Chains A and B, each alone.
Chain A
């Protein structure tokens, strides 16, 4: 048993060596670079990184499963906006208890996921198109119900999931670890997990194997919707408000993290362990560029190059290994 665990850890490092080195190199750079030398490796900043990237972690767990399935999910960013507005709106306009607001927000996310899953299962419309449509619809609903203006909510409990602490740890960081563990169990320790790889690897063969392909897709898209709903709550809470523009481009950060983490866009292979490192790389990159005071317009360019470089290195490695 112990050797199995050891083998697992060795394999994890071997499979992800490229991005692990990239991650360490980034951290070392931050520790040497004059402007970040003193500010980067402080508990405050590290917690900050976790807090800011918790939402991306939620999305990326779902996105990993979706991409292993051979699909894509573009609506998660809009769901963040919509669910955040629903959370704040139910409290401010309908005077519902805050917890109910949060639950409604997560349900709205689930509903978008159910919608995506249903259409993708029942038709041949590609996931790209289906989620492109729901992305626009969700965004539109968020703008319509708020009239385009943020809904502010300063209740202490409302701020807790995004800005609160459990002991010394930020709440989002704790949630992020819990959700990551749940996702790892889902993918690695259940039959559903194997079925996800099977459907993504060869949907036709999965059908012959007696796997309910539609059910697997439906569950994964619904799960991703729920994750986006939770991310929406966390972000609204951190901003003390439901903002119809929140989560703009969040789907792209999630996809970037998954791809940097080594999951293949053609489906059938990938790991959550890789995605974890992918999320950290994107997160530390954002944080580092801010600490260095790089102009935000330039940050996009740097981010784009880093994503390309990471995936390129991985590609070269796979090619050498003859895979």
Chain B
């Protein structure tokens, strides 16, 4: 014990019925450092954080804060101990102001008479102290996702916490906002706060983190100083093997034009997008958040209220009014946000896998259960989804496995054109590599894929051609050879 740690978690074990979620986990956090917690989905990061936050009780192990043994039995105890957690899902009340949210449950003034002026002033002071350009009296629902995240962070800091945990804070914000977030984090560490940072984005580690602890299968497999290690070594630690090929892609000669879209607009975010997709091709759609990429695809898929523009499938003009029409023409869309637009959370993997293709096994008041199981199993195998059984409630699977079920669901419709909107968001590296490899297999078999992504490396490495959008319009198209980070960003900000 030569070094003094701000937080030490020693020998933490925790199990759930049938699963050993954490096994003898150790974690040490120094004051003033950003400490990354890496691991594939299901490795136990969230469980560990929940133990620290007082949401779960560990069966074994001890927690020391500033060298003092501390019992964290509930959320309030965690807060007293100086631990604050910014969860991945935002937990702000949308119809209340920023100030009300920050001071929720500890409003200044008396119980019967809240001092609203003081509350608003104090909140504004906090926001200003971290140079956040947010008005404390704004309703939270009016803020962007990134701004809401900032408010979450301010709220967490306002408890005077020494230990701040951030669970994938950058998964839904743009690069510019990420830079801003990192600034805030640096300000905090200068004040001696220790930050535990969970993220799947390796590039961020180098930029912001000092040390990194890697978890695999509920155990800690190693702690490294970020400057003294590299991406490949960390990935190898995470997956327990060397990943030889992260991006799998055989660039073949594409076939004829299978989908042609002219001047697509939904009257809102999508303004004028034209593009072509060839058979056996992956085209990437790059752009900043809010560039109208998802909206364009939704319009093509029949989900926009007022869509204008022409869509040609295999040279024939088609009129797609609903997703049912789109499926008829062989178009499938795996939506951007799994939770809101994809998952039936309380239902089983089987229900979630087969909801698109009920007609294949439900006929004349007869459910062919065997067929249903076969279809489900086929796509579990194809996507290499890890699930204890087909009856498993999908909400209990990790993000990567949920995403695999989502993609499998749409593959079951045997589409010729597959639209993937942010297919690897919130997915761990191992599963990401698997998804890339499956995409490669699919186009080799003649499928055509449109991939929207905010992660430039995956766009650059996977796409035959890259379309870039800005403010609802396609601003350019780059070949695989031309598609480089800088060229894309220039078009994205045009």
List chain A positions with a Cβ less than 8 A from chain B.
4, 185, 188-191, 194, 197-198, 201-202, 204-205, 207-212, 264, 268-269, 321-323
Contact = CB atoms under 8 A, between A and B. Distances in A.
B409 to A, nearest CB: 8
Interface residues of B, number: 30
Contacts of A205: 335, 340-344
Contact of A198 (B322, B333, B355): B355
A209 B343 CA distance: 10
Interface of B: 16-17, 303, 322-324, 326-327, 333, 335, 340-347, 351, 355-356, 358-359, 362, 365-367, 369-370, 393
A194 B370 CA distance: 17
Given A205-B344, A210-B324, A323-B393, 13 more contacts: A185-B365, A194-B351, A194-B362, A197-B347, A201-B347, A202-B343, A204-B340, A205-B340, A205-B342, A207-B323, A208-B341, A210-B327, A268-B346
Nearest to A188: B367
Nearest to B347: A201
Nearest to A11: B391
Contacts of B16: 322
Contacts of A264: 346
B365 A194 contact: no
Contacts of A269: 346-347
A268 B344 CA distance: 8
Contacts of B359: 191
Listed from nearest, the 8 A-B pairs whose CB atoms lie closest are A210-B323, A201-B344, A210-B324, A191-B358, A189-B365, A268-B346, A269-B346, A208-B341
A190 B344 contact: no
Nearest to B325: A210
B393 A268 contact: no
B51 to A, nearest CB: 16
A191 B362 CA distance: 7
A210 B356 contact: yes
A197 B344 contact: yes
Nearest to A193: B362
B15 to A, nearest CB: 11
12 contacts: A185-B365, A197-B344, A198-B355, A205-B335, A205-B341, A208-B303, A208-B323, A208-B333, A209-B323, A210-B324, A268-B344, A269-B346
A198 B352 CA distance: 9
A321 B393 CA distance: 12
Nearest to B362: A191
Contacts, number: 71
B341 A204 contact: yes
Contacts of B340: 202, 204-205
- The main secondary structure of chain B at its interface with chain A is mixed
A189 B335 CA distance: 28
A208 B17 CA distance: 34
Most buried by B among A208, A264, A269: A208
B345 A202 contact: yes
B351 A322 contact: no
A212 B345 CA distance: 20
Contacts of A207: 303, 323
A207 B304 CA distance: 11
Contacts of B17: 321-322
Nearest to A8: B369
Contacts of B347: 197-198, 201, 268-269
A189 B344 contact: no
A212 B324 CA distance: 9
Contacts of B369: 4
A197 B366 contact: no
Contacts of A201: 344-347
Nearest to B18: A322
A194 B355 contact: yes
Contacts of B366: 189
Contacts of B341: 204-205, 208
Most buried by B among A204, A205, A211, A323: A205
Most buried by B among A198, A210, A264, A322: A210
B347 to A, nearest CB: 6
Contact of A189 (B327, B343, B362): B362
Contact of A194 (B335, B342, B358): B358
B356 to A, nearest CB: 6
A194 B367 CA distance: 11
A204 B337 CA distance: 11
Contacts of A194: 351, 355, 358, 362
A190 B362 CA distance: 6
A209 B357 CA distance: 10
A185 B367 CA distance: 10
Given A208-B303, A209-B355, A323-B393, A189 B367 contact: yes
